[in-house]
Chains A and B, each alone.
Chain A
């Protein structure tokens, strides 16, 4: 049995999401979805668990607060400047710096986390990718045995695929 690739394109993200749900209901697991825009409907249809990036951002945020405390407390003890009779370690100005560093490092860590976890940069194109999927079409590429292909093509067509093309892989 040879493996074929079925490439289908959709003009509407709701239809694409429906197709994904139909495929999952039909126990078809090996497919890729391409989308030109982030779509909540498609994400929910695919049903992946929440991204671990939020933990990376949290780590960055905590690191930022600690860095802020280190800088503020460290420089205060280094220079011991008395600003208008206020206590040496006073939280109102320190909180500003800690907050800003929390935002900065949280953001940087989040960016790096997304880059790492999404496999960017990549040198290989996913098989079945078409330029339209970066413009105005949603695409589903299913890899399956030749025997299953007809059934899967039917599922995709019924879900409203504009175009279904089979390629021997």
Chain B
């Protein structure tokens, strides 16, 4: 065994899970719990007081956004194995897997949409004859439910192996060029391919079908590229937040690691806008009313055009211009702020995709929608807590990281 591997094995022994204080304090847990209660209460109140339509809109938007973040981050971890990423030891993998419990939460919440289906899906109350074979309630809930379930199960099968000793040893063997362990080589590509298929399905069924006449072939990719980017951005934001909470000399104080997170936020925001423009130019050039109405409603007409512009600025313009320099990517405050704004932008993007199909002339956003969003955020934070503890453990364990002194 080379000296580096011996060193890694020795260090692994020293890194047995010790009783570490939870990185998430009791006050944060209490606040997150309160957020869930607030959100659920606001939702129930809205349902009982005739605000069912806006309640279900907010439910769908938040479900899509937070499920996207959780799944995107998990797929990022799989991508790190597929690209043999050793720039951060095992911590980036733990960070990607930290939000995974929300995959099951989202799976169950998805079936909640059944009770609001007549207010969300126009084709429930007005079935479309030519599309009835695809757009009907039992088939939609069956295929999307199975898709999300398979996705969550595959994600957890991947996580189980990723958290094993073999995978962990591989991530910190910085001078070794071996491929990852065999079980990872099977499960990581499976997760990635399933992600593309299932989230294309989700995009078509839960977003595109809200305007049943409209279609765009690239829409599925555009949607899950946004999910992937929001996962990476959430990981970058978490890295910046944990940096100041994990004491001295944690992995996130290494500016090269922050640089790497910043590079991914930068690169995939460019990918996102590339896919957006690819759809836009085709629709613009064809100028067919059956295609253009979707875009015109959101981009060229009030009241939605300012929100679309805000999405563009938050998801692409700010990350692209601000994160271009090396120094900006290595500065935690800058990276964290851009990441936070980017996540707000992506939430807004889901909102602008979904809600105009259901409420064209007014932008419905009031206390109800705000509190429901808070509730989902609380559920997301609560489900991320065990994973964040693992991240804290990995980031403070003094692992050797892949050396790239830029």
Contact = CB atoms under 8 A, between A and B. Distances in A.
A92 B404 CA distance: 40
Interface of A: 40-41, 44, 84-86, 92-93, 95-96
A93 B284 CA distance: 9
A92 B405 contact: no
Given A92-B280, A92-B281, A93-B281, A41 B287 contact: no
B285 interface: yes
A95 B274 CA distance: 12
Contact of A41 (B281, B284, B285, B403): B403
Contacts of A92: 280-281, 284-285
A138 B46 CA distance: 71
Nearest to B283: A92
Interface in B239-294: 277, 280-281, 284-285, 287
A96 B406 contact: no
Contacts of A93: 281, 285
A130 to B, nearest CB: 26
Contact of A40 (B280, B287, B404): B404
Contact of B281 (A40, A84, A96): A96
B405 A44 contact: yes
A146 to B, nearest CB: 35
Given A92-B281, A93-B281, A96-B281, A84 B287 contact: yes
Give the residue among A85, A86, A92 with the most B Cβ atoms within 10 A.
Answer: A92
Contacts of A40: 404-406
Interface in B350-406: 403-406
A105 B281 CA distance: 23
Nearest to B405: A44
19 contacts: A40-B404, A40-B405, A40-B406, A41-B403, A41-B405, A44-B405, A44-B406, A84-B285, A84-B287, A85-B287, A86-B287, A92-B280, A92-B281, A92-B284, A92-B285, A93-B281, A93-B285, A95-B277, A96-B281
Contacts of B403: 41
A93 B287 CA distance: 13
A130 B123 CA distance: 75
